[in-house]
Structure 1
Amino acid sequence: MSDFPGAPTAPSDGRNLPRERPEAGAAANGPLRVLAAMSGGVDSAVAAARAAEAGHEVTGVHLALSANPQSFRTGARGCCTIEDSRDARRAADVIGIPFYVWDLAERFREDVIDDFVAEYAAGRTPNPCLRCNEKIKFAALLDKAIALGFDAVCTGHYARIVDLPGGGRELHRAVDPAKDQSYVLGVLDTDQLAHSMFPLGDTTKDAIREEAERRGLAVAKKPDSHDICFIADGDTQGFLARHLGEATGDILDADGTKLGEHDGAYGFTIGQRKGLRIGRPAADGKPRYVLDISPVNNTVTVGPAEGLDVLGLTAIRPRWCGTPAVGEGRYTAQLRAHGEEVPVTATLDGEELRVRLDTPARGIAPGQAVVLYDGTRVVGSATISATERRGVPA
């Protein structure tokens, strides 16, 4: 693991670095010093290649996020193995750019893994990819990059940045709706957006793979990573059980009748249907779903599908990608990473965002993020703290 020879000394995890940053201009303002985050996948490799081809001075960096990385990936899951690091290095060699590995495993554990476990223990449903973007790639990594004299961080996210004629930048959806990742980038603030570069936002995934082949990148056909990168086997419940231990509790009907027992409320998510281990069927014969998770009394409440309908929500800790929302406004909102947009009325009251949905949405839980859009433009993001639902108040 090494830093750049002769570079200014900086803390290894990127904390406590200067916040003053020179404005990073668009490509038209001249070449930039760009730090390209290279995961070892095809997207980040092509993003780095495009940045270099555009004339920028690019350096590749792979983030070592696991304290004990596996040698090889398990199927298509994960993105933090030794194999991924080697793939990133080979891609950097083909592109012809310097390459380094930065150890951010401790910071990742504190800000992403520990947060993930704590949120589930509190009965909430976190999005670790969103937290990683906020705390690692566009906080720890970007802060360290700026301290070392870089102008911008380049990633393989599918999103677009629009430079405004009068100055400033906007974050927009990618042209490929199937790959759009603007939802998990909604946590970026104006300052971070000013130093970000997303070269893939105008291209489809199929075209990216074809381009990788033309460029001679060996990762052209490498499978995408899926699920949660630090749970390589995909067994989230098993991962949580190892960290939180077994905690037997009751599974209740909406009227409080005990239907069964569970080994830990953290093993359930709002809207879950399978694996409930309920001893008897509902009186109406219809499926039952998880409606509520209470860590206080360690209970899981189940009921009919209509009990999942969310009519409104309250969200906290808003982060704005540009001009903050003021008062009441009409937007569309995305409530899950792969969810559809829904029309909403959003009202900002201090640091609390209240959102009223035009039509009910199902399976929305505290801990998830609500991201507001104005057309394709990302307005901002906030963390859902409570929902207003039919049947079970949260």
Structure 2
Amino acid sequence: MEQIAQRSLFADTTLSAVSAGFAAVLVGFASSVAIVLQAANAAGASEAQMVSWIGALGLGMGLTCIGFSWYYRAPVVTAWSTPGAALLATSLSGVSLPEAVGAFLFSALLTLLVGISGAFERIMARVPIPIASAMLAGILLQFGLSIFTSLQVSPLLVGAMFAAYLVGRRWLPRYGIILVLVAGFAVSWLQGEIHTEQLDWSLARLQWVIPEFNFSVLLGVGLPLFIVTMTSQNIPGVATLRASGYPRVPVSPLVGGTGLMSLLLAPFGGFAFNLAAISAAICTGPEAHPDPARRYTAGIAAGVFYLLAGLFGASVVALFAALPQAMIAGVAGLALVGVIGSSLAGATADPDSREAALITLLITASGVSFLGIGAAFWGLAGGLICHWLLARRG
């Protein structure tokens, strides 16, 4: 049986799936690793402990991506909590690193309990597909627009990537993102925009921090970290899976699994893991593989790249920092064009839900934030309220 599974994995793995996994990790790391380092610095972490944070996060994301994607045969991609990192960067002033680790453990325990109880899955089951699709489209819309805002800043680089995308879509649709990556690296290198002088390849070492539990820190840091991660990360993550055609993947084990991984790795710097939305959308779209049943290999590929990123820690951070921002924005936007289109189609397919879905899209795309909670949650909440009111009116 194991040999059959192995043969199936090798047969299902394609270059397009591997490139989608790499693009997901590239976008995930490069877009927010600076926020994670700011959070570690706010907690008073040393340089070695910061490397440990990156190593623990890479290890946790790699293992969960590989494990979930393999077991459920779906492209399940996890991530660190970027809003959580932003919260930590602003709320850990005056908090010791052991106390911060205690808050991480408290947040992880709450996530594990929510996953085990099935409460989160029951809530998400009540979200209509058009509303979930609209929220996903709103989240990803800025990435699509970034293609053309970056084109204004770096016309040659982004223009070459866009041309490669069009060529790929016309003649090599399964390898479109590979061509985009090759074009981006080539033009960036020829323009001298990739700076590798500071690279020093060295392995990361995890450093254990003994946690301390301070009640005020648990409530002031741990509880908000849990709430922000669930509302701003896990809800869009589940919506990504649902809107991409994977409704049968059970939510509770995924949420519980990320909570368990956070419990295990929090003392090393793994402050919060959750389901990914943006990077996951790269692996769940048709660019990863035309057959949805075989896109799970993109999730596994992302996990392998996350493990490598965590293994080399600071070196990978320096590598991502060496890439031009216009290239990263271009890769993200072009990789998500197909997903944005399918999300918009799913959001507007049902005339009865179209107005509520449009409100969800507009709120989410606006980027508004209240009470420290991001636009994805408020877009979902606003859309659900409109859906309920308009359904009652009808």
Higher strand fraction (1 or 2): 1
TM range (shorter): under 0.3
Give the alignment's TM-score, normalised by structure 2.
0.24
Give the alignment's TM-score, normalised by structure 1.
0.24
Which protein shows a greater Rg? 1
Higher helix fraction (1 or 2): 2
- Which structure has more relative contact order (CA 8 Å, sep 6+)? It is 2
